[in-house]
Amino acid sequence: MDLLNTLVDKGLRRELPTREEALAVLATSDDDLLDVVAAAGKVRRQWFGRRVKLNYLVNLKSGLCPEDCSYCSQRLGSKAEILKYTWLKPDEASQAAAAGVAGGAKRVCLVASGRGPTDRDVDRVSKTIEAIKEQNEGVEVCACLGLLSDGQAERLRSAGADAYNHNLNTSEGTYGDITTTHTYADRVETVHQAQAAGLSACSGLIAGMGESDADLVDVVFSLRELDPDSVPVNFLIPFEGTPLAKEWNLTPQRCLRILAMVRFVCPDVEVRLAGGREVHLRSMQPLALHLVNSIFLGDYLTSEGQAGQADLDMITDAGFEVEGAGTTTLPTHRARQGGGCGSHDGGCAPCGDAPGEAAAESPGGPAARTDLVAVRRRGAGTDLAPNA
């Protein structure tokens, strides 16, 4: 297929595809899907070989967020029956992080619900970062705390943070339909603040919120222009009790095409397969490893992921290898001097992840698979052992 040959050539040269080419990837047929995966896989291997970076989420503060992000189980007015707790103490967060590191995670992503941190919150997180670094030599730490005020990124950097996550989530044109309590420009500004402070920027998207192909291309092209080191791709898990509870409109094939498009547009950045992979990719998750070079290990913020050992087995069985702590994630031309890892969390996943009762099937779309999702009841904020 001429389209795929062109996209591979451009990806190997780090050249931006045209919008028409990106849209064409999303429009390919299921008959061509394996060809699309194989083509994007060539670009992935050029810059990252067969390495898979593992990341581990620690939810420092769960629920009770004043923002109204429609996708989020922690949003204002959410009726999702998630864990709700205030800030973990530094030693509690460090203990949770250690479980992920022991499971093979190279990066720990510290996430807290809320509009953005107060200066007191930054002090608290700084102590947590220091505790984690002291107990886990060589671990990377990414913070995901919401909108930043002046000077806060620099303080996190001084405390030892390597990266900061703040996702764009969707296109600028549709952002107001998803969130009204802050703007798309607010998110862009926070990413710029993180970059200016010398933090490795992580910013990604959520697919499956009812957006069009053009919206997906818009946000991925905006991410390319923003130039984060890491682009997490989340797939919406519709929570009962949130405005997007009925948006069950993704298929495994659709998810793979989205990941391939992101890889072609952002060929040499860490593309992370984030929230929702177990629900929407299901048995086709191993194919996604040919497109992404990073995943989250174990559970997410408010929902459970598949068993950590299952993730490790999947990586090995698919012919990939876990990236070691001594390996620099990004290719040499992207690595930042003095910037720690030069990569990313939360992308850290978005604030939300999983669910309750069965959501209605979208007209003409796939059946809702609420049986594949479970609200997190273990790990941070509980007395039960984490999944890592």
Given this model, what pLDDT does residue 370 score? Answer: 66
Instruction: Answer yes or no: 144 catalytic.
Output: no
Exactly one of 109, 144, 255, 348 is catalytic; name it: 109
Q: Determine the pLDDT at residue 79.
A: 75
Active site residue 266: no
- Whether 202 is a known active-site residue: answer yes
Backbone angles phi, psi at 111, to 5 degrees: -120, 140
pLDDT average per 10 residues of sequence, the chain (388 residues): 96 98 98 98 98 96 87 78 88 95 96 94 97 94 97 98 97 95 96 98 97 98 98 92 88 98 98 95 97 95 89 97 94 65 36 35 57 75 84
* CATH tag, 2-325+342-372: 3.20.20.70
Q: What is the pLDDT of residue 32?
A: 98
pLDDT value of position 255: 98
Q: Which of 142, 266, 348, 351 is catalytic?
A: 142
What's the whole-model pTM score?
Answer: 0.88
User: Could you read off the pLDDT of 295-350 as tens digits, one per residue?
Assistant: 999 998 888 899 999 999 999 999 999 999 889 999 999 975 433 333 333 333 33
Residue 321, pLDDT score:
98
Is 341 noted as a catalytic residue in this protein? no
Q: Which residues of 252-284 are buried (b: 16+ CB within 10 A; e: fewer)?
A: bbbbbbbbbbbbbbbbbbbbbbbbbbbbbbeeb
Residues belonging to the chain: 388
Q: Is 109 a catalytic residue?
A: yes
Residues 304 and 73: beta-carbon distance below 8 Å: no
pLDDT given for residue 363 in this prediction = 43
Task: Please state the domain extents for the chain.
Answer: 2-325+342-372
Q: What is the pLDDT of residue 371?
A: 65
Q: Is 272 one of the annotated active-site residues of the chain?
A: yes
345 and 144 Cβ atoms separated by less than 8 Å: yes
Q: Pick the catalytic residue from 44, 72, 224, 255.
A: 72
For residue range 2-39, list pLDDT tens digits in order. Answer: 999 999 999 999 999 999 999 999 999 999 999 999 99
Of 138, 144, 139, the residue nearest 156 (C-alpha): 144
- d(CA 242, CA 294) in angstroms, rounded, equals 28
Would you state the pLDDT for residue 365? 54
69 is catalytic: yes
Catalytic residue among 44, 157, 202, 348: 202
Residues β-bridged to residue 52: 322
- Element of type H or E holding 255: helix 252-265
Question: Which of the residues 254, 272, 277, 376 is marked catalytic?
Answer: 272
